[in-house]
Structure 1
Amino acid sequence: MRTYLMLSAALLAAPLLAQDEKDDAKPAAAEIPPPQVVSKRMSGTFGGQRINYVATAGEVHLKGDDGQPRAAINYYSYVKEPRDPNRPVTFLFNGGPGSGSVWLHMGAFGPKRVAIPSDARDDGAPPYPIVDNPDAILDVTDIVFIDPVGTGFSHVVGKGETKDYWGVTKDAQSVAKVIRLWLNENGRWNSPKYLGGESYGTTRTAAVANELEGSFNDVALNGLILISTILDFGAQAEVEGNDMPYIISLPSYAAVAWYHNKVPNRPASLEQFVAEARSFATGPYASALMKGQALQGPERDQVRAQLARYSGLSEQFLERTDLRPSPGRFWKELLRDRGLTVGRLDSRYTGRDRDTAGEEMDNDPSFYGIDAGYTAGVNAWVRDGLGFKTERSYVTIGNVQPWDWDIGLGEATYYKSVAPYIGKAMRENSGLRVFVGQGYYDFATPFFGAEYALTRTGFPQDRIVWKYYEAGHMMYVRDEDRRKLSADVREFIRGR
């Protein structure tokens, strides 16, 4: 597995930093401390409104059939005062699947955020400012951030084992239990409910929605919030013989080539150029790839020339890839003449590798450009700002392998997609709407992958809202897009 994939906050997770032995040891049931819950009354201005709220950093114990705790899952809730049982509540998490909720919590929707450079520069060294976040959405909804087992401070306890929680379905079941327990404790069963995540968090959103709405004892949802979406892993699997990843990636190639001025006669509008690339990808390019080795002569020449225009790569290089440039090669090749690589999570970022002649990047500059600030920010806010006490390390990106990808029987064993969960939920819940927010410069979850997954048969298109941003995977690191994302999600929630 490529090193840069292991460092992403998106589809795969980085190696978990070593814990002290005392952190890893699981105490006997009698020694398990009760869940820690700390709350503070606070106030802030969000969406132009002054809001009084209760901020809580807490734990929930999930129990086995014997009534003994098996896992301690952490959450961070922000609830407006005075409390209103009919006010919307939104449950949010990140992805990985080993990523803590730090990114959405401290970058987009929480009442405090860590301020790092907005213009794709490295975040450097501390201190990092932790500032009020007027773009938090507390004016329209209460918020609960959840860290699943293996992320944040959440961990197994007693007789619990990670294999009971590390998998598409098992993870979703545990998060659904936390949501039900929170609704019980806070008297919010009749509140409008929103569920959302980023990256694998969108996969988790689909699976959790299935757990909440897929039975008679259901928790009906008003909306799903999908940010940097990955639902159809089969279509995007980079395996020999699968040409879909090249088609799905091409509109992103075009956006990034446009951004870095690698497009001859560059159009003034990014959206216009992306639309052209989309049309080429689903038309002439898809048709050409389907022909395999039969694609020869003038037709091949014409497709190669168009592919060069939309990708920013030379025809000579594209011919050597058999017109199938992989994302990893693109990141390294696009700016090779400048001695730079472009980022995977956010291709506005650039980095300098030790060897500019190499095949792959040394590391993702769009991840090491932000990770230090977010790690410092969440620890400072949760420990010092909210007063949560623990000797455990906050896991921003952790190793949750092996992950059980089984999502069902039959053909789902071979083709992994949780998108049908969303289609089914929308067909069976006429009040369920879906928000999809995508960054143009994101290669971890390319925007065309979301478009492909959610426009198949069975998805009511009139209840899906699409928004795009001129940044990458964590589009909110760009100040303009954080404000736009916040306004778009507010409008979505108010639109119920």
Structure 2
Amino acid sequence: MGVAARPLYAQQDPPEQAQRDRGRDDRHEKARPAALLPPPSRTEHALELDGRTLRFTATAGAIPIPNSAGRTLAEIAYVAYTLDGADPRRRPVTFAFNGGPGAASAWLHIGAIGPWRLPLAAASAAPAAPPALVPNAETWLDFTDLVFIDPVGSGLSHILGESEEAGGRSAKRGSRRSAPEPASREEGGPRYFWSIDGDVESLADFIQEWLKRTDRLASPKMLVGESYGGFRAPKIVHLLQRQRGIAVNAMVLVSPVLDFEGRRVARHSPTSYVSLLPSLAAAALERQGKVPTRELLSEVEAYARSDYLVDLLRGPRDQAAVDRIVAKVAEFTRLPEEAVRRHGGRLSSRAYVQEAVRPKQRVASFYDVTVTGLDPDPGSASARFDDPFTTALAAPMTGAMLELLNTRLQWRTGRTYHLLSRRANRAWIWGNSPNPPEAVSALKEVLSLDARFQVLVTHGFTDLVTPYTASAILLDQLPAYGDPPRVSSEVYPGGHMFYSRDGSRAAFRRDAEKLLARSLQPQGT
């Protein structure tokens, strides 16, 4: 799920299940009793896929997150799939989570790499679409065990002892305005779990505890994080390496935000326009019936990072520069020059939708600008609308996850399932630093500390939420960290959830399998 997406959460709260005491102290009990999740459920499955059979065990459950006094602060829910008959010391295990912040891992789980998937074709994206899971021929279970984690507040994971509404509302990302201070680990609560550091610590706690409980500390390990999950993943790996003595072999970042500086609306800085232009050109190719490739986009990529940037820096008072920008941007985006000129050649994602899609009385998804829907108010000058891809799929995604958990995996909890928690997303504490949050520093530390660590960064061509060029610019600033380089990148047809397209999902699987294989090769080979 994407960064700061419109919340996608589900049904009303059912009655809480009976309270069970697990050793919490009296003060905690009096704060606000909260039902604990039931014990793990283990089920056996066999999946027939393209001439191959996968026999595996599925475990749905939760792991408590305590403070140093042993008081349970929260429970993190998960679903793990382990292949039967494999040597656990040699068998890789992959931990996967989405972003938000506040998003459950459902998108990666039943959209991309789990054993079952919900078809996510744009043509069928609608709240009334049937939530029917089908076998996933592109599952990664062939080459790695899978653990899907719902961070605290998302999915069925929850805070104990106090209302989750108590988190308050934080300042905007990178804002210099005073934001709430995060709580300490000992305090817990929303101000701990819904902060950058608390989120990273709690997920590292979960990974460490799962590895200990399952005797998998010796297993090769990989992390997969999408969107904001791609921001937290390098920080989690760094913490595991530095504080927990746990090595991670590889990491896959899916449509990541590596530095929130690039997410700012560029009122005075041109960098966001530079990052966005190649994705707008990719959308133009799709409108012409062409499949975007790096080769087809090489000219616009080079222009965006050279002449376009130079002319943007000249400013709007340089009419010759504006004329050059308007002509080139119109050429690459296939928009009329007069439309591009209205924005001075500086096309934001909203400006693009306004000019390219709304004249047809339609709106577009910022997560995949090729996915459009009916404009709810075509006569309005401003575009306010639910996302025709992510919001349209909220109901079937939630229904499919509940069917999977309740019926197929036999883990009934009686709790609300949050595909994306509005409370966590709005209450997120980004910190009071004058600089926007970034994960590039953690990524550099991890790469320098472990000479075998491998990274794959993936994006979709037509994603306007986290444009692929933004990551490309940041990755180009990294040192080589050895020969051959250990950071690779791939861009696939599609948007933020490019894996919704069959061909992109298959290519993604192949690239991830190759990455994991490289990370397990002996040094020097």
Contact between 2:11 and 2:417, CA under 8 Å: does it hold in 1?
no
Contact between 2:292 and 2:461, CA under 8 Å: does it hold in 1?
no
Per mean C-alpha deviation after superposition, the further-off stretch among 425-434 and 284-293 is: 284-293
Q: Give SS of 1:368's match.
A: coil
> Which residue is 1:67 aligned to?
70
Q: Give SS of 1:378's match.
A: helix
In 2, Cα distance between the equivalents of 1:284 and 1:193?
43
Query: Counterparts in 2 of 1:172-187, with a 5 A limit?
Result: 172-187=200-215
In 1, Cα distance between the equivalents of 2:293 and 2:505?
19
In 1, Cα distance between the equivalents of 2:472 and 2:277?
13
Contact between 1:26 and 1:158, CA under 8 Å: does it hold in 2?
no
> Which residue is 2:255 aligned to?
228
1:84-127 residue CA offsets vs partner (Å, 9 max, x unmatched): 222111000011011100111011111111234x3544245253
In 1, Cα distance between the equivalents of 2:190 and 2:212?
26
> Which residue is 1:309 aligned to?
331
Counterpart amino acid of 1:260? Answer: R
Per mean C-alpha deviation after superposition, the further-off stretch among 280-289 and 205-214 is: 205-214
C-alpha change, 1:438 and 1:24, in structure 2 (3 Å) is: farther
In 1, Cα distance between the equivalents of 2:207 and 2:281?
40
> Which residue is 2:370 aligned to?
348
Q: How many angstroms does 1:336 deviate by? A: 3.4
> Which residue is 1:3 aligned to?
none
Counterpart amino acid of 1:76? Answer: V
Counterpart amino acid of 1:139? Answer: D
Q: 1:390 aligns with which of 413, 428, 431?
A: 413
> Which residue is 2:440 aligned to?
419
* Counterpart check, 1:404 vs 2:429: yes
1:120-150 residue CA offsets vs partner (Å, 9 max, x unmatched): 4424525332111121111111110000101
In 2, Cα distance between the equivalents of 1:211 and 1:177?
10
Q: How many angstroms does 1:395 deviate by? A: 0.5
In 2, Cα distance between the equivalents of 1:432 and 1:479?
29
In 1, Cα distance between the equivalents of 2:17 and 2:190?
12
Query: Counterparts in 2 of 1:257-276, with a 5 A limit?
Result: 257-261=284-288, 270-276=293-299
In 2, Cα distance between the equivalents of 1:304 and 1:14?
36
> Which residue is 2:151 aligned to?
148
In 2, Cα distance between the equivalents of 1:465 and 1:329?
32
* Counterpart check, 1:10 vs 2:3: yes
* Counterpart check, 1:99 vs 2:125: no
Contact between 2:17 and 2:414, CA under 8 Å: does it hold in 1?
no
Q: 1:50 aligns with which of 32, 47, 53?
A: 53
In 1, Cα distance between the equivalents of 2:272 and 2:105?
28
In 1, Cα distance between the equivalents of 2:201 and 2:246?
13
C-alpha change, 1:422 and 1:155, in structure 2 (3 Å) is: same
C-alpha change, 1:437 and 1:336, in structure 2 (3 Å) is: same
Contact between 2:8 and 2:418, CA under 8 Å: does it hold in 1?
no
Q: How many angstroms does 1:242 deviate by? A: 2.2
In 1, Cα distance between the equivalents of 2:491 and 2:2?
20
In 2, Cα distance between the equivalents of 1:122 and 1:37?
33
Counterpart amino acid of 2:150? Answer: D
Contact between 1:147 and 1:154, CA under 8 Å: does it hold in 2?
yes
C-alpha change, 1:484 and 1:435, in structure 2 (3 Å) is: same
Counterpart amino acid of 1:364? Answer: D
Q: How many angstroms does 1:345 deviate by? A: 0.8
In 1, Cα distance between the equivalents of 2:115 and 2:56?
10
CA-based RMSD:
2.5
* Counterpart check, 1:333 vs 2:362: no
C-alpha change, 1:459 and 1:175, in structure 2 (3 Å) is: farther
Contact between 2:14 and 2:414, CA under 8 Å: does it hold in 1?
no
> Which residue is 1:4 aligned to?
none
Structure 1 unaligned residues grouped into runs of 5+: 1-7
* Counterpart check, 1:288 vs 2:334: no
Identity of aligned residues (%): 29
> Which residue is 2:177 aligned to?
none
Counterpart amino acid of 1:492? Answer: L
C-alpha change, 1:286 and 1:239, in structure 2 (3 Å) is: closer
Matched length: 478
1:325-354 residue CA offsets vs partner (Å, 9 max, x unmatched): 211121221133422222111122111213
Q: 1:324 aligns with which of 334, 346, 359?
A: 346
Counterpart amino acid of 1:10? Answer: V
C-alpha change, 1:167 and 1:346, in structure 2 (3 Å) is: same
Counterpart amino acid of 2:248? Answer: L
1:210-268 residue CA offsets vs partner (Å, 9 max, x unmatched): 211233x321111111111111111221152122111110001100112113xxxx988
Per mean C-alpha deviation after superposition, the further-off stretch among 172-181 and 337-346 is: 337-346
Contact between 1:13 and 1:98, CA under 8 Å: does it hold in 2?
no
> Which residue is 1:448 aligned to?
469
Contact between 2:322 and 2:344, CA under 8 Å: does it hold in 1?
no
C-alpha change, 1:305 and 1:239, in structure 2 (3 Å) is: closer
> Which residue is 2:44 aligned to?
41
Per mean C-alpha deviation after superposition, the further-off stretch among 305-314 and 316-325 is: 316-325
* Counterpart check, 1:254 vs 2:247: no
Counterpart amino acid of 2:444? Answer: G
TM-score of the two chains, using structure 1 as the length reference = 0.90
> Which residue is 2:13 aligned to?
20
C-alpha change, 1:483 and 1:251, in structure 2 (3 Å) is: same
C-alpha change, 1:33 and 1:270, in structure 2 (3 Å) is: closer
Per mean C-alpha deviation after superposition, the further-off stretch among 176-185 and 50-59 is: 50-59
